[in-house]
Structures are given as C-alpha cells and as structure tokens.
Amino acid sequence: MVAEAEKLTEAIVELNEQQAYQLAEEMLNSGVDPVDIFSACKKGMTKVGELFEQKEYFLSELIMAGGLFKGIMEIVKPKLKESSDKFMGKVLIGTVEGDIHDIGKNIVVSVLEANGYDVIDLGVDVPPAKFVEAIKEHNPQVVGLSGLLTEAIGPRKETVDAIKDAGLRDKVKVIIGGGVVDEEISDYVGADGWANDVATGQRIIDKWVGEADA
Amino acid sequence: MPKLDAQELRKQKAERFQKAIRLEKPDRTPFCFLLGISAFLSNNAGYSVADISHDYDKFFRAMIKFAEDFDHDWGFAFPGLANQVTITFIEDHPEIAPSVGLMTAPMHDILQDNYTRWPGRELGDDIAPQFIGGKFLEIDEYDLLIEDPKKCLNEVVLPRAYRSLAKPDSAEAYGALIKWGMEVTRFGAAIGAAVVELSNIGYPQAPVSTCNNPYDLIADFIRHFDNTIMDFHRAPDKLKQAAEAILPFSLKFVDISTKVPPEMKQMYDIESPLVFYPLHLNEFLHPKLYKEYYWPLLKKLIEADVEAGRVPLIFFEGDHTPHLETFLELPKGKIIAYFERPDWNEVAKVLKGHQCVMGALPPSLLISGTLQKVEDHVKRMVDLFDGTGFILSYAQSSLPKEVKAENLTAAIEALRKIG
C-alpha cells in the first residue's frame, strides 16, 4: 500500500487527474485508512507548492492541483474521523465586503488545507461584523482578508477596525492578500502581513503559527 | 504661458501620446486614463457608484469632470463591463456588433445576464460593478463550439447566460431583444456626446475598439475561469481548437469596428485606431502554456493590427513578468503594453527601446503615499525609461474612493516638473 500512496502523491504532482481519482478510489475500496490517503494527497500538494515556489509550476498548475485535491477530499473526507489536534492551526478567511471574487481566495484555501490547516472559509462579500462574529465563534490564530478589486482596500481596513473595536485584535494575526496589496496598503489597513502570492502567504502564516506554538 | 485653445491642446497632447508609442522623446511623459465605473470617479462628481452605473449622462458628466480636474493627455472611461459573448454578431450585423460588446447596468436589467453584478441591484449602492462570469458550456460540448462558433454562442451559450433569453422563441425574449436594441441606441448617443465634449476640453480623440484573446473569451464568457484553467490540462486539444475557431471572428470584429467612414476622419486627432485587449488568463498561465496556446493567437491579433495601421493597447493583468520575452517577437514601437503590476525593472530591461509601456501608478501610492513619495515615484519611473516609450497611467481600470485627489495632482505636477 505504501507503493499505492506514493503513486497517488506522484499522480497529484503530475496533475494526472484520472490516475489520481482511480488510485484514491481503489485505496478506499481496498480498506486503506483514509488518513493515509489524505496524507498522500497532502504530500503531493506540498510538492506542488514547492514547484510553485521554484517557478516550475504557475497558478495554472496550482489551480489544477487544488481542484484535484478538493475532488479527492470530497470522497475521502466523509470517511475521515476528524480530530482537530492534528491541524497545524486555524485560519479564518474570506473575501471582504463589496468584492465577490474568489479565485485567489480559493487557491489559498486549498493550499492551506492541503498543508494541514483547519480553514474556515466565509466566502465572498463578507461584512466586517461577520468576520468579528466568526472570530468569536471559531477562535482562529490567523484571519485572512482577500480581495481582487482596488475597491476592496477600504473594506479590509474597515474589517481590521471592526476586529479592533470588538477587542479581538490581540487575539489574531491579520494577513491581507490579493494583487493590489503591498507594504503601504498593509500599513494603511492595519494588517500584520501581506502577500501577493500563495507561497508567500503560507510562509507568513507558518511562521506566525510556529511562533505561537513555540 | 498663453492658454491653448482646445484644438491646439488636442494637437499637443496627441503628439505627446503618439511620440511615446513610436519611442520618440516627447516634450514630457504623457499621462493617460482608461477607466471603468469606479468610486473615485463618481464621488469626485458628487454621485454614488449606483448613480453613474444606471445613468449614462451622470457617468459621462463624472468622466468629463475627472478629465477637467486632472489633466491627462488621453483617456476614456467606459460605463460598463465587457460583453464579448456577442462577438459573432459582427458577421450579420456589423453596424451594431461593437455597441453590444459592452454590458451596461440598464442592459443588465433588460438581459438579466449571469456574467455581471451591479450596484443598486445585486450589490450595495457604492460598490463597483463586478464581472464574475460563469460556466455556460460543458466540457463535453466543446465540439459544438469548434464546429460552429456562431451557432454555439448564439443558440447554446446566450440563452444560458442571459436569463431573459432563456426561452429564445418566447415573448419575454423578443421583448428583451427590442429593449436591448433601444438601450444600445441610447448608449451610442451618450458615448457620441461624451466624445465631443471630451474633445471640446482639449482631449485628443482616436477610433477605439475592444477585443479579447479567444482564450479569455472562453474563460470569461463560456467555460468559467477555473474550468478553462483546468481545460488546459483536461482537454487541451479541444480548448485550442475552440479558441482557433473563434479567432476569425475576433479578427473580423477588430477590422470592422475600427473602420472610420471618410466623413468622420476629421473628428480624430490620432489617426491610428487603438484596439484595447484586456487580458485575463495571462498571469495564471505557465510560460509553456502561454507560449503554446495563448500567445500565438494574441500575436496573430497584434500582427493584424500592426499590418492595418492600428495600435494594440494591451492590458496585461496581474504580474506579466514571466512572459515579457515574447514581446521581442514583435516589430518595434507598434504597441502599447499596459501593465498592472509587473517587476518594472525587468520590464525596462527587456522592453526599453522596443515597445511603449504604460501604467505604474499603484493604488497604494494614490491612497496612502505622501506628496513627496508620489513625486519621487513618478520621477523614478520616468527615469527608468529615460522619458521615452513610457505612458504614466493607473495600475487598474478602477480608482477606489480612498484615492487622494492631491496625490493625483502631485503625479501630474511631477510630470510637468520632470519634463
């Protein structure tokens, strides 16, 4: 079965959709522990992430791998006995109010999930109050504010302000993501970090979560 | 300095703009705007985003006020979002095809399209309209598109994409089509009036058209963005054949929509038509996919433009840096390469002396930069290109409400100071 798991990892890295689904289903049917299937997929996604960082893969490959990972998880997840202590950390994410784009956010969600994070995805056009409410309910370590439009800069700031007003700012690290963000926007918004690409974003989140655990 | 009249101003600005394209040194670096519906535009004129979305007169009043308040050398703003799904109309109805290539809020109300979301409708009053696209053709239906793009787009995709045309033979559909036609007439008249007004305040005019790379047309209007990205892996041959089947329509669309009747020629200070290509998939594609699929079709469109004396104004969304080398395949000084957020040092390294580039004013600078920072940035960018083959412009087609007016003025003053 180890060989099968390795093949599954490889199929994901090579974006071989048909083979990956076939292997995952065969493994499930032959009684392989879903946890092992999950970790084979995770391993594949980690490798895809590395290839992305090395510029061997681009967003086209990341989206393809993300779709593949999500598809396999839909089959495997119902059979996984979840236990939250296995997660790297908890991230709350959403596209801020007034922006209904989700391509970037979805890439981040799939990469973080594949890297062992418990990700709570609030979707698009998320008002500041909903972020505050979700922080209270889920107690995440990191809050990710996504957006594509230049118009989504203001709402990021309003969301950080609302988190501050609710007295929750010290409890979470805030990262902003999207094409238009940079150091100045991060300062303007009052975030702790920013990223234009998923690899940088994940590195920042890994560092924060690692520091918190240390 | 004596004040120039509108005609002299237009001449001066047109020369500045055209010299930049030809890679000659203009008297100073031109500053241009190419915007859509955005909050700064509306708020600057005392309107909400919903106001200018639903009322063409208000939109163009806001555009004229913006053009007056902030002195640019060329510019236009479009009160809508792309609607290239109608591209095949060019064969049977060339006179209306360019006008239906844009979806405005009133047209959205009539057609109930699934592509776009609007302020005062699906979105709040002060939120910019947004294009979200959708999937209106399944992966196993590619052959329909490959075999007959016109039939497929009009008989399969349109009824799925426009809710008002869901039942093509119905009274709802006929009524919607008639209303759409009336709206297109109103829209055309409003654009015509705006062009005259812009001209009267000293802005040079050029014939302008818009077109998509067929791959973007498939991603935005037919298969949905994510699906199209996956189709590069799942069904690459079908995707390629479909894009190639659409290309003849794109070429024809540009050709016909930029033809200027002789009696209209005197209206234009810039003779070469500008063809705007907003690219979408570019940033997402692996250079291998870009070179094998996307670039060959874009190159064909560009070459056809150059051949016909048109100037392609290509907006490279996102970070286009990995694909810069492909520009070297093009003849020098024939296009405007408009970048959103590339590595500008790399752009200068590869493209300086080869193609005119445009952009370089990021929203962060306009929102939170100091006046000094704006001046320093503008100077650095002009210097990077030695004041040649560079047009300063906004990084996106949208200016949010947080943009500081004084920062825009600072950018303009910096250009005047630098020369």
Best mutation target, A58, A148, A150, to test chain B (most B CBs within 10 A)? A150
Alpha-carbon span B284 to B289, nearest angstrom = 10
- Over residues B296-325, the mean pLDDT reads 97
Instruction: Evaluate if residue B343 carries a pLDDT over 90.
Output: yes
Q: Which residue has the tokens 């193609």?
A: B355
- Over residues A203-210, the mean pLDDT reads 95
**pLDDT for position A82:** 60
**Residue B373 CA, distance from chain mean position:** 28
* Torsional sign, CA A45, A50, A53, A56: negative
Binary contact (A185, B368; C-beta < 8 A): yes
Binary contact (A60, B395; C-beta < 8 A): no
How does strand B116-117 pair with strand B130-131?
antiparallel
CA distances from A126 to A192, A197, A205 (A): 20, 21, 21
**pLDDT for position A87:** 85
Residues of chain B contacting A99 with CB distance shorter than 8 Å: 130
Find the closest chain A residue to B229 by CA distance: A60
Q: Could you report the per-residue pLDDT of B77-104, keeping only the tens digit for each?
A: 999 999 999 999 999 999 999 889 999 9
Per DSSP, the residues of B75-112 read EEE-SSEE-GGGTTHHHH-TTTTTGGGEE-HHHHHHH-
Q: How many beta-carbon contacts under 8 Å exist across A and B?
A: 102
Q: Which of B127, B232, B364 sits opposite A98 (nearest CB)?
A: B127
Of all residues in chain B, the percent with pLDDT exceeding 70 is 100
Q: Could you report the per-residue pLDDT of B97-112, keeping only the tens digit for each?
A: 988 999 999 999 999 9
DSSP B12: H
Look up the domain containing B311 and give its range: 6-418
Structural domains counted in chain B: 1
Tokens, residue B147:
């075999």
User: Where in chain A are the domains?
Assistant: 2-79, 86-213
Instruction: Evaluate if residue A97 carries a pLDDT over 60.
Output: yes
Which residues 343-362 on chain B approach chain A with CB closer than 8 angstroms? 362
When pLDDT is cut at 50, 70 and 90, the band that residue B61 belongs to is very high
**pLDDT for position B264:** 86
How does strand B356-361 pair with strand B390-394?
parallel
CA distances from B284 to A74, A95, B116 (A): 25, 19, 22
Of all residues in chain A, the percent with pLDDT exceeding 90 is 83
Residue B1 lies in a domain: no
Instruction: Evaluate if residue B297 carries a pLDDT over 60.
Output: yes
In this prediction the ipTM stands at 0.91
Instruction: Evaluate if residue B2 carries a pLDDT over 80.
Output: no
- Over residues B304-333, the mean pLDDT reads 97
Find the closest chain B residue to A180 by CA distance: B363
- Over residues B67-71, the mean pLDDT reads 98
Instruction: Evaluate if residue A142 carries a pLDDT over 70.
Output: yes
Alpha-carbon span A60 to B281, nearest angstrom = 9
Find the closest chain A residue to B281 by CA distance: A60
B38 contacts B49 by C-beta, under 8 angstroms: yes
Instruction: Evaluate if residue B407 carries a pLDDT over 90.
Output: yes
Binary contact (A151, B226; C-beta < 8 A): no
Per DSSP, the residues of B29-73 read --EEEEE-S-HHHHHHTT--HHHHHH-HHHHHHHHHHHHHHS--S
**pLDDT for position A83:** 52
Interface membership of A21 toward B (CB under 8 Å): no
Angle ∠(B103,B399,B365) on CA atoms, nearest 5: 155
Lowest-confidence segment of A45-54, A85-94, B16-25 by average pLDDT: A85-94
Domain with residue B39: its CATH number is 3.20.20.210
Nearest to B339 by CA among B292, B384, B405, B301: B384
Tokens, residue B32:
């241009």
Q: Could you report the per-residue pLDDT of B26-57, keeping only the tens digit for each?
A: 999 999 999 999 999 999 999 999 999 999 99
Residue B378 lies in a domain: yes
Interface membership of A51 toward B (CB under 8 Å): no
Best mutation target, A60, A124, A156, A184, to test chain B (most B CBs within 10 A)? A60
**pLDDT for position B419:** 76
β-strand partners of B77: B35
**pLDDT for position A84:** 46
* Torsional sign, CA B151, B155, B160, B162: positive
Residue B135 lies in a domain: yes
When pLDDT is cut at 50, 70 and 90, the band that residue B1 belongs to is low
> What's the pTM?
0.95
Interface membership of B227 toward A (CB under 8 Å): no
Instruction: Evaluate if residue B336 carries a pLDDT over 60.
Output: yes
Backbone dihedral region of B46: left (phi > 0), alpha (psi from -120 to 50 degrees) or beta? Answer: left
User: CB neighbours of A184 closer than 8 A, spacing ≥ 6?
Assistant: B364, B365, B367, B368, B369
Binary contact (B341, A196; C-beta < 8 A): yes
Quote the minimal CA–CA distance from B285 to chain A in Å.
5
- Over residues A177-188, the mean pLDDT reads 94
Interface membership of B285 toward A (CB under 8 Å): yes
Between B367 and B1, the more confident residue is B367
Calculate Rg over the CA atoms of chain B.
21
Q: Which residue has the tokens 């479909």?
A: B242
Q: Which of B124, B285, B400 sits opposite A150 (nearest CB)?
A: B400
A123 contacts A92 by C-beta, under 8 angstroms: no
Per the prediction, chain B carries an average pLDDT of 96
Alpha-carbon span A96 to A151, nearest angstrom = 10
Q: Could you report the per-residue pLDDT of A115-130, keeping only the tens digit for each?
A: 889 999 999 999 999 9
**pLDDT for position A2:** 75
Binary contact (A103, B396; C-beta < 8 A): no
CATH number of A2-79: 3.40.50.10190, 2.60.120.620, 1.10.1240.10, 1.10.510.10? Answer: 1.10.1240.10
When pLDDT is cut at 50, 70 and 90, the band that residue A1 belongs to is low
Q: Could you report the per-residue pLDDT of B256-282, keeping only the tens digit for each?
A: 999 998 988 888 999 999 999 999 999
Quote the minimal CA–CA distance from A42 to chain B in Å.
20
Interface membership of B19 toward A (CB under 8 Å): no
Domain A86-213 CATH class label = alpha beta
Longest dimension (CA), chain A: 54
Angle ∠(A89,A94,A99) on CA atoms, nearest 5: 160
